[in-house]
Structures are given as C-alpha cells and as structure tokens.
Chains A and B, each alone.
Chain A
Amino acid sequence: MKHREIPAGLDDGEHDESLLVDVRDLKKHFPIEKGLLRKQVGSIRAVDGVSLQIRPSQTHGLVGESGSGKTTLGRMIIRALEPTSGEIWFNDRDIGRVNIATLDERQLRQARRNMKIVYQDPYSSLNPRMTVRQIVGEHLMVNKKATGKDLDRQVEELLDLVGLRPEYGRRYPHAFSGGQRQRIAIARALSMRPQLLICDEPVSALDVSVQAQILKLLNTLQQQFGLSYLFVAHDLSVVENVSDHVSVMYVGQIVESAPKSRLYGAPLHPYTEALMSAVPQPDPRASKKRIVLKGELPSPASPPSGCYFHPRCAYAEQVCKDESPVLEEIQPGHFARCHFARTLHLQGALSTATAPAKPTARPPADSAPANVVFDAAR
C-alpha cells in the first residue's frame, strides 16, 4: 500500500518511548516463480504494509482467518522470516531501541534473547530426542547464563512456574499430553525472561478444558513478569479474553485495530462484524441470526480490485470496487480500513451496555495510552 499509517501523535522517524514494539509498514512478498529459469511471474503479498504497536505488559491480539498473514507477521517480528520491507522497532532492555529488520546476525542473537515465540502445535515444536530439562535449559546453556547445578535449579524453577513437577525434567516430550507440552514450550520461552512473547495459536490444538488452563497460565505470567504478548489466533472469543488491543487481518492487511472493548463493542469494519457474528455461541437461546459470508478468502497472489473485502461485503458499493480504502483513525485509537467506516452502524459481539457509551467522551488516544482507555471503559 502506498499509504503509510502513522499512529496518532507520532511523526515519521520519531519514536514513542513507551512502545515495546513498533512495527511500521511491514511487508512480506513471496515470489511466484515459473518455468525452467524460475522467472518471477508475480508475488504473494502475505503481509502487505502492516503497522502495529505493542505496549509493555500488554497483549496485542491478532485475529484473522487462515491465509490472512497473521502467522507470517508474527514470524517476521522475531525475524524467523526475512521481511521484504518495513521496520520493526523493538525496545530491547539490553541494547536499547533497535530495528530488528536491519540487525546483523550478532545483534539479532542478542535481541532474540528478549523476544520468544510459542508455536501452535506442541507435538512438532519440541525436539523428541531431548529431555524436558535439555529443552527448557537450552537457551540458558547456549547463552552461558547457567551451568551444572545452577542450570538444574533454574530449570526446576521454570517447570514449577508453568505448573509441571520438577522431576518431569528427566522425561522426553512423548510422555506428555498436549497441554503439558505447551507448558514445556512456555517454560522454554520464558527461560531468558523475555520482554515479548509471540504466541502463535498457542491453544488451538488443545482440548477445551486444557485451553482454559494455558490461558490462565499466560495471564498469571504476564502479571508476574510484566510480559508483553502478541497473541495470534483465529478464535475471537479467546482473543477477546486475553487482549488489551486487537487487530483484525484480512489478506495481508490490517482492516481494523482498536482497544478490545471498542472493537468488540462497536466494530467499524464489516469484516470484523461478520467474523464476530460467525462464531457459534455456546448458548442455544442466543440469536441464531448470523451474517454468512459468501465465497472464500481471496488469494493474496491475486487479490480483488479496490477494497479486498468488497466481493464478500454486504455493504459494498461501486467505490469499494474502484478504490482501495486506507487504514484511518475513525475514532480516537480506533482504526478501520473501510470507505464507509464513519457511516455504517455495525453490530458488535458485546452488548452496547458493556461497550463504551459515547466515543466523544473519551480522551484522545495520544494523551492516554490504550490500556487506560480500555480500563475506563470497563
């Protein structure tokens, strides 16, 4: 996208010191190659100009359907994937504010101590040939933070922290259930006391009863260590439960971003509305009127003209086919990428009673951080 989104109160090139992560106009284009000479015939715009901010000790939820680019975005932030362009500013407590996208290997290793990732499938993310003690202690050992007895003691503390018995350290991953494995993965990620934890669908492979355990654990750890999370998930209820701020992705772009009570109470983008209405409610008395979207998520290799959502949108008009909307701040702190964001009255998932009453009564976003706005709304 040509348009460059700049958060309120910030000039380009200037940094808001209170942000832990400040992603600016990040892109990842995968080339499509054809023929013997691997000539590039096009590109898949998996992530196409995304900007987002994460504040210390807060959770930024990222929702979207499969193929929307949310996982690619999460992986680029720790540079497990090389971004095509864009900036990833990270306020590292050891080496200061750095642009992850331009770091050399040595600096990147340094910065990665403070940002870790927890993957979706705990069955494939743990090395089956390593004991739990080796898995959890690996970062400590590699970074020469602890050896021998001290290492053992620290691993035991970590296991205790995530609710596993210390003697489990001698076992191999196969001896554990899905929920326990996810606890091991979290213990490993926490071993270097990171500032940022990227959780890529951390509970979607787990049973309902175990899901609640892991969500509670993540919540407790955040309060205990002041951790920040980027919480990537497709389950809107889970994201609502854990997040302070939520962004919705559609075909590589953020289409809406707001403090959670605003996003769920009064969404401004039709896609957000449809997504929320599609979630089956665990209550047979709940209204069964739903917005059933036509068609499927378009391919990021050949997105539709204009607004990417227009072929499936109930409110689409001619302008939506012709012009791409930009992500605009419609209300303080509430961004939406829709031509009609100001005029549509969309239905949220929260009742209007719990949603903020009057948007105009709120303090402007630049004078109050998102969390304060959010608490006041509650």
Chain B
Amino acid sequence: MQTTSPLVEVIDLKVQFPLDEGTVRAVDGVSFTIPAGKTLGVVGESGCGKSVTARSIMRIVRSPGKIVEGRILYHQSAAANVSKQKSPDLPNANGMPPKPATQQTIDLTALDHRGKEIRNIRGNHIAMIFQEPMTSLSPVHTIGNQLIEAIQLHRRATKQEARKLAVEMLELVGVPRADDRINDYPHQFSGGMRQRAMIAMALSCQPSLLIADEPTTALDVTTEAQILDLIRGIQERTGMAVMLITHNLGVVAEMADEVVVMYLGKVVESADVDTLFHNPQHPYTQSLLESIPRIGRKVEDLEVIAGSVPNPMNIPSGCPFHTRCREFLPGLCDIEVPELKPLDDGHLVSCLRR
C-alpha cells in the first residue's frame, strides 16, 4: 500500500446542536485528511466531538445537530486505486457486479442526508462500527438476516448468494461454525462475537473506508487484541482506510499511521503516530500522554490535568484548553484564538505558545 492520496478530506467542518439551553458547538472548524489505505486515529476525551465528526462523514448526525459549515470531500478515484490492489481471497460471491468505478469527487455535506446518493455511499463505500454492538444490532432479527439485508441493499444478489457471502464474511471475521451461528440472534452472541458480526456486516460491501467508533472500549483486553488484529489483517488484505476513534492512546499507538488529537470540538494537534507519541507539542497532548498509567511507573509520577473537560455549552474564551493548561499565559491564551499551524512536515499544532 504505497498510495497516500487523500480518500476523505474534511475541511473546516462545523456541527452545531441548537438546544433550549443554548447552542452546542460540537465540532468547531475541524480539518483533516484520511489517506487511502491508511489508518487515521482520532483521539480525545468524551465530549470533544470525535464521534460527531465521524457521524458527519456518514451523514448520520442525530437531530437537532446540523452541519452548518464546511465540506467533506470523498475522492472515489483514490478508492478505485486501492481496490485494484485488493487480494482475491476476500469473499466476493460470483456473478455480483462490481461497484461502478467513478472518478468523481463528492462533497458529502452537499448531499441530502436521506437521499439516494448518500444511501449508496453509506454502508457501501463508507461503513461504520460502533462501541456497543448490542445497541447497533437489531435484537429481533437473526445475525444472518441483518447481514443479508445489508448485502442485498447494495448488491444485486439473490438471497442464496447473499447468504453464502454472509457466511463467508462471518468466517472471515472469525466466527466459529458460521454456517450454524448465522441463524442466531444477537443476544446469543458474546460481546466479542457481536463486534465481529458488526465488522462482518460493515465489510460485506468492501468499503473503502471503515469508521470504527471506539470499537473495543466495551471489550476485555484479550478480546480487544483479537478485534484489533482482525481489523489490521483485513486492512492489509483489502487496502481499505480506517478512521479509528478512541480515547485509548495505547490502541492508537498500535493501530494508527496518522493521529488527530481533538479537544472541545477542535483539532489541537495532528501528526504521524511516531511524532505524536515521541515529540508531542501541544500541552494537552503532552499532559494526556503523561497521565496514562503505564506499567513500571509510580502513581506519584502521573501527570494530572487539572479540572475536567468544560461544559460544551460554555466553551472558554481564547484557547479552549487555557483553563487546564500548564503553560497558560494570562493576557494571551485567554484572549486570542490559536490556529492550527504547521510546525514542520505534516505536524500541525494549535497553540499560541509554539
């Protein structure tokens, strides 16, 4: 996978939730690029807008949330380049026509979120898996029927063909006795197996981008290792891009090629994974890295970020992090709004003191 052409470009995205108590600026001018075939990690604490950003790409932001500004460009040509490299061992039931190869770039924000075009992209070109698989699977339909429905929605396939592909997908993600278990309901699956079924469903149309929103947060470490291994393995074989949203810096370090750090609806730092972990520049990133308990370190040495994430209804003036920042400079940080500036090659930081 040598390709680094951008697959999805998010440009100055703003998403707001007008509520009775005031407007929540959940995403406030976010820009980043998801390179084709690579993994982009999006890190941040709860309430920083990482999930809303992901949902914006899928155009499934919950009402009353609205994209008020910005563009999300989906480059289909980049996707086509990658899919050429796809290895043939991925199940692709015979006789199914491939997705029409188009060379166009689509602005996802311009589409009607209920329209035909976005529904063709959603699930087909861009798929998403969520944190809690139990709430994203229907409890009253079998795993198989849900998979078959997803396949038939986007492919011209008979029920038998779709079922065959569904079984193959379940086998691919490591569900034992897939032919049998395809008739099970979600409650008969364990947490790890449910997440596998979700991944099978997401991958059934061979998307060029998989958005994984905290895919392993609800799982045990040993199951987490299995699921991460699975995602990485499939990515190597199919060349799909992954947008991995997590608060777990360990998972990001292991999976991501590029990392975006978000705080209160803004990108505060973005760099390749090695730079971000070994030469972080934003005080928030630095503190975050020092606050993780690591084996061999004493509690006394843990860095503590004072306070908690401010109320998104009431974002601090100037730099949103200034209330918790150890390098806070009165008269500067609480007045001026920092911009995301390049430090050196590909390393962007939003801090007035850098």
Contacts and interface: CB of A to CB of B under 8 A. Distances in A.
B303 A212 contact: yes
B104 interface: no
A157 B213 CA distance: 42
Contacts of A208: 45, 247, 249, 288, 291-292
B226 A280 contact: no
Interface stretch (B125-133, B149-157, B250-258): B250-258
Given A293-B225, A296-B223, A209 B192 contact: no
B224 interface: yes
A212 B288 CA distance: 10
Interface in A286-331: 286, 288, 290, 292-293, 296-297
Given A65-B222, A275-B222, A280-B251, A209 B305 contact: yes
B274 interface: yes
Given A264-B295, A283-B277, A284-B254, A278 B308 contact: no
Contact of A290 (B46, B225, B253, B295): B225
Contacts of B287: 209
A278 B294 contact: no
Nearest to A203: B293
A82 B214 CA distance: 37
A350 B254 CA distance: 19
Nearest to B306: A213
A46 B174 CA distance: 28
B295 A280 contact: no
User: Which size class do A's interface residues fall under?
Assistant: 35 or more
Given A237-B294, A240-B293, A281-B250, A297 B220 contact: yes
Interface SS, B side: helix
Nearest to A218: B299
B48 to A, nearest CB: 10
B295 A240 contact: yes
B112 interface: no
Contacts of A296: 190, 192-193, 223
B228 interface: yes
B320 to A, nearest CB: 14
A216 B299 contact: yes
Interface in B261-313: 273-274, 277-278, 287-289, 291-300, 302-305, 308-309
B221 interface: yes
B218 to A, nearest CB: 9
Contact of B224 (A237, A264, A280, A285): A280
Interface string B213-249: 0000000111111101100000000000000000111
A177 B45 CA distance: 13
7 contacts: A65-B220, A212-B305, A241-B293, A280-B250, A280-B251, A282-B250, A284-B277
Interface of A: 65-66, 177-180, 207-213, 215-216, 219, 234-238, 240-242, 264, 274-276, 278-286, 288, 290, 292-293, 296-297, 349-351, 354
Interface of B: 45-46, 190, 192-193, 220-226, 228-229, 247-254, 256, 273-274, 277-278, 287-289, 291-300, 302-305, 308-309
